[in-house]
Amino acid sequence: MGILFQNGVLVNPDGLSGKMDVLCEDGMIAAIAPQLPAKDHRVIDAAGKTILPGLVDVHVHLRDPGLTEKEDIATGTSAAAAGGVTTLLCMPNTRPVCDSVETVSYIMDKAASVGSARVLPIAAVTVGQHGQALTDFSALRRAGAAAFSDDGVPVMNAAVMRAALLAAKAMDAVVIAHEEDGFMVGNRACNEGKISEKLGIPGRPSIAEDIMVMRDVMLAEETGARVHIAHVSTKGAAEIIRKAKARGIAVTAETCPQYFMMTENLLLEKGTMARVNPPLRTETDRRAILEAVCDGTIDCIVTDHAPHCAAEKARPLTQAPSGMVGLETSFAACVSALVQPGLMTLEALAAKMSTIPAALFGLDAGTLRVGGRADLVLVDPQEQWVVDPAAFRSKARNTPFGGMRLTGRVKMTLCGGKITFQDL
């Protein structure tokens, strides 16, 4: 017996679309056609709803191993399923750092045992994320590492970054770069500008991001390696990436909903819930990121899901950790900010959140085709709802989206043909 979706609209950026029935059997897509017989299958009436490929989030912090008071693989992937995510890449800033074959294997084995989404670890670029000695890229890649990053800690030494790019190029892997000059930003709480001045605290200048983006674009050009720029937040960085792409440099980029929906002003209202890294920027930056998402300069949309304990976020702004959770709000935030205003079609959004990131990292995901994995999400793109952090599946509640009315709701998620979330 399979699961048969009837009467829905299939939106598939990389394949057949339209009013289609979709049959899932034995973890695979068994058939896609305008009408399929019910037989003895479980029938899901998808009338008024849309079927999308399962979302692919290539920037998630699961905090497991070692920081499981914030999140763990079970709760993090449960949150992912509630947000329509079926495949995710998790960052290496765990305890211990994901810089060994043993830690890569631990994450993959635990995800296979308790996960509600497919989890692929990102291994650290440098041992301990200390920015000095490279990890064993070859061994980590063989163990299952999907990419390499020291996310959260910029690789400040250009020689180390160049060596990392060359090592990654040798195995056709991607280095994901957190782009801030650490000497310029320290552990400062917000963007440098009118809000930092109003609060009387030092800020993180946007030039700190732009300089590092320019450096790594230059290194990508010189080495011919692939570099992926994480969570782009500034107008300057977007312009550098746009020009680099026009020159044929192998650079790709991501951003998060907060960077095209929110500005530094939100700190005055939401406090530590709006403290993220890189920080929320100015209205000029927000508009530039929105433009870069819409014109393809920024390839994909991620969450940078970064859970923290309530007690940590209750500290003063300058002492609280940076980060927000996003897995359960990202799809709706993007529908609200991009699709509802007519800036992007739902098909284009599905590409940004599924098909394109899957292709960038060589993942078997992001499309619905007969014989392929039954990773899909059923959504109601018109349903409005109010974000209630208390209802999150994540352990964490640190979000500036709390209380916000959003449009677009995940109704069911299938990962490998298994229902991992349902709200019908």
Could you confirm whether 304 is annotated as catalytic? yes
Rounded Cα gap, residues 303 and 186, in angstroms:
23
Burial 8-29 (b: 16+ CB within 10 A, else e): bbbbbbbeebeebbbbbeeebb
Cβ-Cβ contacts under 8 Å for 407 (sequence gap 6 or more): 332, 335, 336, 340, 381, 382, 383, 384
DSSP annotation of 159 = H
Rounded alpha-carbon distances, angstroms, from residue 16 to 10, 31, 149, 326? 8, 11, 35, 30
| Residue 257 backbone dihedrals phi, psi, to 5 degrees | -55, -35
User: How many whole angstroms separate alpha carbon 331 and alpha carbon 256?
Assistant: 11
Contacts of residue 54, defined as CB under 8 A and 6 or more positions apart, other chains included, come to 84, 85, 86, 87, 354, 365, 366, 375, 376, 377, 413, 414, 415
Provide the b/e sequence for 160-186 (b: ≥16 CB within 10 Å).
Answer: bbbbbbbbbbeeebbbbbbbbbeeebe
Question: Which residues make Cβ contacts (< 8 Å) with residue 182, sequence separation at least 6?
Answer: 153, 154, 156
Nearest Cα to 420, choosing from 370, 354, 376, 373?
Answer: 376
Q: How far is it, in rounded angstroms, from Cα 62 to Cα 90?
A: 6
Catalytic residue among 21, 72, 304, 375: 304
For tokens 């305008």, name the residue: 34
DSSP 89: E
Q: Which helix (H) or strand (E) holds 52?
A: strand 50-53
The Cα–Cα gap between 205 and 32 comes to: 51
Phi first, then psi, for residue 111 (nearest 5°) are -65, -40
> Catalytic residue numbers?
304
